[in-house]
Structure 1
Amino acid sequence: MGNVAEEAASMLGGRIAIVTGAGGGLGRSHALQLARLGTKILVNDIGVALAKQVAREIELAGGEAIAFAASVRDEARIEDMVARAMDAGVVWLDCAGEVVPDYGFMPMERELAGGPGAELKAANS
């Protein structure tokens, strides 16, 4: 068995990953690691400043990234986001979630309905 990082880089290098919730926490960590493996990152976060900051971090480290501010609850914006990345072989990583009173952090388990990228399922890591 080969080096796991090398295997991951060979599978992901040159592809585009849409990482939701990438402005901080686990989403940011995943975006930075995927970028180190050669994946181009579409940094999604509800906060435009956070998305831009992480995209800039990736670029300063030699990677490629663009920021895309949108709530994962806004289907039209998410369809726009997916449309921007579809032509390059997309990997989807959903780190977005929501805090629900009395239940704490709850992952958002909703597939895109229709439009570009409908076949992509948000898989909460």
Structure 2
Amino acid sequence: LGQGGFGYVYKGLLSSGKVVAIKQLKGGSGQGEREFQAEIDIIHYIHHIHLVNLIDYCISGALRILVYEFVPNSTLEFHLHGKDYLNIAWPTRIKIALDSARELAYMHKDCNPKIIHMTSRLLIFF
């Protein structure tokens, strides 16, 4: 499905028939290892309408995998900057901005533990 600083993302199918997104940590990524551990320790237990749920994880030797619910509508980045980005109506852009702001407010104020995004690659928990 894609690739980021963390590693590759694949589409998978569980034996139950549920479609999932699978993130595999790149080998030798110190920052990725910290993100992986943070998602297991904290994000696994946080649920919100605007957060993709972490279903499970796998640690086997050097292998690190996160299993998320699959969201079929591509990424926010694709919708804002993909080939059709000029066709997004302003009301839709405003809705995206408001939903994003609500999610950030939830993570900063209402979530326990509180989560602060410093960059797209670093989460700070307290």
TM-score normalized by structure 2? Answer: 0.25
Which structure has the larger Rg over C-alpha atoms?
A: 2
Structure with bigger strand share is: 2
Of the two structures, which has the highest relative contact order with CA contacts closer than 8 Å and spacing of 6 or more?
1
